[in-house]
Amino acid sequence: MLLAVAFVAGCKAGPSAFDNAGSVEGDSVPDSVAVATLVDTPSIALLDTATVGPDVDSAAVVSEESAGEEGAEAEASTPRPRAPSPGMADGRFPRPEHVRGIYLNAWASGSRNRVNALLELAAQTEVNSFVIDIKDASGYISHPTDLPVAVEVGATEEVRIRDLPGLLNRLDSAGIYPIARIVIVKDPLLSAGKPDYAVQDTAGGAWADSKGIVWLNPYNKDVWDYHVDLAREVAEMGFPEIQWDYVRFADAPASDHARATYPGENGPKADAIRAFLDYSRQELAELGVAVTADVFGVTTTARRDVGIGQVWESFIDVVDVALPMVYPSHYWKGSFGIDTPNAYPYEIVKAALRDAVKRSADIEGAGITRPWLQDFTLGAPRYEAPEVRAQIQATYDAGLHEWILWNPGSHYTEDALEPIGGFVTDPVIRVGNELIPASQRFELTDTVPAAPEELAAEVVDTAATTIRVDTIPVDTIGGGTR
């Protein structure tokens, strides 16, 4: 049985996933989906677009009041994952024991009514954290800023959060932990205003993929500094955690990449991503902020770089938290031995996260794993409370305690969330493509076929991986789907 790894780039956590849109039911999801074939890929069929999340750009039409963007610790053997520092930035926002959050796109974050509604949701449920868009895949910085390069390239011309300090004050009063999401390599404003910051074409000028997207060059230190300066600015305002999204290379077909050159290239792509994450962490260390990264869900299982520079062992010890976008809708037929992954949210998420837990256990100083989970519908079945709660339960059963929900329009399924005081009745979840009480989940999981580890490893070493990028979230999160 051949397992193909497919992913839609999220997310956004999420995590980064839908900036451009495809067609998703309800509010779309993160990093769009195009079809490309890469060599040296993993063994699981994943359709990874968000995340979340949140790095996958695919999405729905975005409006001011409901736009979306394209976006753990296991009971593992030693070494245990490293926990982020408890007190960060200006000290207002102590880190919750376990982060359980939702994504707010920039328009929602700038709307008093939307923020009020989401604060009410948090007050009634287990939600204790908000991911706030500081710069999404449009390139616009959400709040007023005087950063010189941002002003020069026009990134200050569409302010969506007019009073960011005021928003932080409101979150502080409500006991909400804020996380600043910043998209990196997908930035049409910076690549147009500073074309030398972009990947270059062998024919001259900035390189564009077959969809016309110009990508920033992850080897370029000016690209690093632009984003670190922005992170420093919001950390000084009080954000205790910086979440990098689209921290990767372009997920374009090999035929497109044949024309791409990378000034400053000095090693493998995975080394460049690691170097940026390490650099940003060092630069922000004096501010005491946690540095986190949204990654494709496939990274939890893939043993090689699938072409975007994200390899689990290469980044997990230089981030405080990694956020894989493990949206079930982004996995291809055959993933983890399941023919219809979207109908098995519990099994897909649990399998993907168990791989992450196992790999982190072998890395000294590994950061926490906090997945982006799917709270949007993309194909059958419709995702409602049983499907969303199934993913949360799978996260816990994989040995992790943290998660963030991704919905590009920032509309969430309250019935999937544990109320303050706990559930009164056993929540219903989807397991084995059936709706059952959560307490009965182990009775069905044994009936779901799974691919043997040996086969998965063999496929990872030999098969080509298909990355689908055309309608979902995963580089996460941004103005539509990621």
Q: Write phi, then psi, for 338 (nearest 5 degrees).
A: -110, 125
How much is the average pLDDT of 373-377?
98
Model confidence band, residue 52 (pLDDT cutoffs 50, 70, 90): very low
Angstrom distance (rounded) from CA 245 to CA 17 = 9
pLDDT of residue 115: 98
Q: Do residues 425 and 418 touch, judged by C-beta distance below 8 A? A: no
Q: Which two tokens stand for residue 99?
A: 């982060």
pLDDT of residue 56: 53
pLDDT of residue 453: 52
Give the closest residue to 128 by CA, choosing from 16, 287, 240: 240
Q: Which two tokens stand for residue 398?
A: 């994989």
How much is the average pLDDT of 188-212?
97
With H, G, I as helix, E, B as strand and everything else as coil, classify residue 359.
helix
110: Cα separation from own chain's centroid: 21
Model confidence band, residue 91 (pLDDT cutoffs 50, 70, 90): confident
pLDDT of residue 449: 52
pLDDT exceeds 80 at position 470: no
pLDDT of residue 444: 75
pLDDT exceeds 50 at position 66: no
pLDDT of residue 81: 54
Domain architecture of the chain: domains with CATH: 35-468 (3.20.20.80)
pLDDT of residue 280: 98
With H, G, I as helix, E, B as strand and everything else as coil, classify residue 315.
helix
pTM of the full structure: 0.83
Q: Which two tokens stand for residue 470?
A: 């055309």
Q: Which residue has the higher pLDDT, 227 or 87?
A: 227
pLDDT of residue 316: 98
What does the DSSP assignment read for 45-100? -------S---B-------TTT--------SPSSSPPBPPPSS-TTSS-PPPSS-E
pLDDT of residue 283: 98
To 10 degrees, what angle do helices 345-360 and 385-397 make? 30
Q: Do residues 308 and 359 touch, judged by C-beta distance below 8 A? A: no
Helix count and strand count (H, E) for the chain: 13, 15
Model confidence band, residue 49 (pLDDT cutoffs 50, 70, 90): very low
215-219, 353-357, 471-475: least confident range: 471-475
Mean pLDDT value across the chain: 82
403 beta partners: 100
How much is the average pLDDT of 386-407?
98
Q: Which residue has the higher pLDDT, 125 or 462?
A: 125
Angstrom distance (rounded) from CA 136 to CA 103 = 12
- Quote the percentage of the chain above a pLDDT of 70: 74
pLDDT of residue 45: 41
pLDDT of residue 462: 32
pLDDT of residue 339: 95
pLDDT 10s digits, 103-134: 999 999 999 999 999 999 999 999 999 999 99
Angstrom distance (rounded) from CA 367 to CA 34 = 31
Measured torsion, CA atoms of residues 378, 55, 49, 36, in degrees rounded to the nearest 10: 150
What is residue 214's DSSP assignment?
B
pLDDT 10s digits, 286-317: 999 999 999 999 999 999 999 999 999 999 99
pLDDT 10s digits, 14-25: 343 333 323 344
Q: Which two tokens stand for residue 129?
A: 């954290």
Angstrom distance (rounded) from CA 215 to CA 269 = 14
Q: How many residues does the chain have?
A: 482
Q: Write phi, then psi, for 437 (nearest 5 degrees).
A: -65, 140
Q: Which two tokens stand for residue 131?
A: 């991911």
- Quote the percentage of the chain above a pLDDT of 90: 72
How big is the CA angle at 396 (ends 361 and 336), to the nearest 5 degrees? 70
Q: Which helix (DSSP H) or strand (DSSP E) does residue 453 occupy?
A: helix 453-462
pLDDT exceeds 60 at position 371: yes
How much is the average pLDDT of 247-270?
96
pLDDT of residue 98: 98
pLDDT of residue 90: 72
Q: Do residues 52 and 13 touch, judged by C-beta distance below 8 A? A: yes
